């Protein structure tokens, strides 16, 4: 067994590593090192916690750690980048459910300690946690009960909410907003009942109050996320990430685990900040995202005139050969087609011909912030030509050719031109200001949000239909 001093020192070291990991992830060049900081920090946290004072049951713990490690390694090896958002949602659900189980267990141990005290006041064969509870004063036990309530409620909402988010992202659940009759009143009623159950529990009611509390919170998580449109799922996943962090922090207080408190607070706060950034990038109110579906038109949408004009690879290649400045806008379609390598090959060929080539990245391109940056880094696209929306949006007017690969809502001019559009006011990449725009798209359907895009009908736009990777591979030999 390791002494408490070693465990405390390890907790500080792991916390520092986690902070360095989060800080490094803001920069593409430092991201790999930052990931290793996180890996090492978690390894330190698990080892020193598992072998700390008062910990036992290794005959069960060690096999569970090995099984979990094997499952995690297999998942990491099999999951494609396009499936990363739903994997994140699935992992959030595990954190939420773990919080519920730990909180239930904590209350059962609390009741066991109180029952033993009532008999003879002896410590008996208490577990490490029960022994900790036995040392608490009455007011500290009240705080413990509050922590149990918070852990159960936040954890249960996170669990079912994350399961539904996973289903919507994976296409296993309809992405349209759907709610039971009564809508948000059901959520409000369930929240009020949850508060009443919490008060009953704190007043000395039985374990049944925690079971009902969890059931109501499970419903709130399910119904809340079912009522949110698929296009808002990136914000929802980020929000659930924050929830999972606060659930972990609540359980950290319950277990008197400083490292869990710090880690949970880091995840909770970073998830909340990321959700705010994404809402700002979409010109959306965070509360509106949580309480409703994507957008909300104020009247009939503007009529779209014209038609979608197709172009083949030779036509796109001719325009690229004549162009001096080119901007590429990647989206989720590039990720689905796994076209990032073909994009990288095209960029290298164009730059070798002396052309200026840059990428424009919208903050919510793909399904998670940074999704496109990771794919382009994977394909070895130079970091210095990958620019964020605010850095490049004013340059489209002086650009010869824009190639849009699998993007829809983030290049939709209706956001600025149609006040009745569901995405009115959302900051978008102003690709239509370029001289020529080529849109690589599988077909004429709408995007993930189901909103028609007037860009596809503009006079300077041409539709380059087909699978993005196949289309780009056909284009490569024609580019001089």
From 375, 231, 200, select the one nearest 293 (Cα to Cα).
231
User: If residue 139 lies in a helix (H) or strand (E), which one and from where to where?
Assistant: helix 138-170
31-50 and 58-78 helices cross at what angle (nearest 10)? 160
- Nearest 5°: the CA angle 212, 142, 94 is 50
To the query of whether residue 467 is one of the catalytic residues in this protein, the response is no
SS3 content of the chain, % helix, strand, coil (to 5): 65, 5, 30
- From the list 409, 418, 459, 467, the catalytic residue is 409
388 SS3 class: strand
138-170 and 233-255 helices cross at what angle (nearest 10)? 150
CA 396, CA 434: separation in Å to the nearest integer?
A: 5
Beta-carbon-side half-sphere exposure of residue 233 (alpha carbons within 13 Å): 30
CA 103, CA 108: separation in Å to the nearest integer?
A: 9
329 SS3 class: strand
- Which residues in 312-331 are b (16+ Cβ under 10 Å) and which e? ebeebbebbeebebbbbbbb
CA 388 from centre of chain:
19
Q: Which residues contact 273 (CB under 8 A, 6 or more apart)?
A: none
CA 107, CA 147: separation in Å to the nearest integer?
A: 10
Beta-carbon-side half-sphere exposure of residue 322 (alpha carbons within 13 Å): 9
CA 461, CA 464: separation in Å to the nearest integer?
A: 10
What is the chain's Cα-based Rg?
Answer: 26
Residue 415 backbone dihedrals phi, psi, to 5 degrees: -60, -30
Question: Catalytic residues, which ones?
Answer: 409
């Amino acid at each position: 067994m390791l002494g408490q001093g070693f465990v405390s020192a390890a907790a500080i070291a792991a916390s520092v590593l986690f902070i360095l990991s989060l800080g490094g992830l803001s920069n593409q060049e430092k991201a790999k090192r930052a990931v290793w900081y996180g890996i090492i920090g978690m390894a330190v946290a698990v080892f020193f916690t598992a072998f700390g004072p008062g910990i036992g049951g290794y005959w069960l713990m060690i096999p569970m750690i090995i099984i979990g490690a094997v499952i995690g390694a297999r998942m990491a090896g099999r999951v494609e980048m396009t499936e990363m958002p739903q994997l994140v949602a699935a992992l959030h659900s595990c954190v939420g459910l773990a919080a519920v189980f730990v909180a239930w267990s904590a209350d059962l141990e609390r009741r066991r300690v109180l029952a033993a005290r009532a008999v003879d006041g002896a410590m008996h064969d208490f577990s490490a946690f029960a022994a900790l509870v036995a040392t608490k004063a009455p007011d500290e036990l009240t705080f413990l009960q509050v922590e149990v309530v918070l852990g159960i409620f936040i954890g249960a909402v996170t669990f079912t909410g994350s399961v539904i988010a996973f289903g919507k992202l994976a296409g296993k659940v309809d992405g349209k907003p759907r709610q039971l009759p009564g809508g948000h009143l059901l959520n409000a009623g369930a929240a009020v009942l949850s508060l009443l159950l919490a008060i009953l529990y704190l007043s000395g009611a039985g374990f049944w109050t925690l079971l009902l509390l969890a059931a109501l919170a499970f419903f709130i998580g399910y119904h809340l996320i079912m009522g949110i449109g698929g296009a808002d799922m990136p914000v929802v996943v980020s929000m659930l990430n924050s929830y999972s962090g606060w659930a972990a922090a609540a359980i950290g207080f319950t277990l008197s685990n400083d490292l869990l408190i710090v880690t949970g607070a880091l995840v909770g706060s970073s998830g909340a900040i990321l959700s705010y950034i994404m809402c700002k990038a979409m010109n959306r109110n965070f509360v509106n995202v949580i309480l409703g579906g994507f957008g909300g038109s104020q009247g009939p949408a503007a009529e779209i005139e014209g038609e979608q004009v197709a172009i083949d690879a030779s036509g796109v290649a001719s325009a690229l050969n004549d162009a001096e400045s080119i901007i590429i806008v990647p989206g989720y379609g590039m990720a689905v087609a796994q076209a990032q390598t073909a994009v990288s090959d095209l960029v290298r060929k164009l730059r070798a011909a002396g052309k200026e080539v840059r990428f424009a990245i919208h903050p919510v391109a793909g399904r998670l912030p940074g999704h496109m940056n990771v794919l382009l880094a994977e394909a070895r696209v130079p970091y210095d030509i990958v620019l964020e929306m605010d850095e490049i949006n004013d340059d489209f007017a002086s650009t010869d050719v824009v190639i849009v690969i699998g993007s829809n809502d983030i290049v939709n001019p209706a956001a600025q031109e149609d006040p009745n559009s569901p995405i009115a006011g959302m900051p978008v990449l102003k690709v239509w200001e370029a001289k020529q725009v080529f849109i690589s798209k599988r077909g004429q359907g709408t995007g993930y949000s189901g909103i028609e895009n007037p860009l596809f009908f503009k006079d300077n736009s041409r539709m380059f239909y087909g699978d993005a990777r196949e289309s780009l591979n056909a284009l490569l030999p024609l580019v001089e």
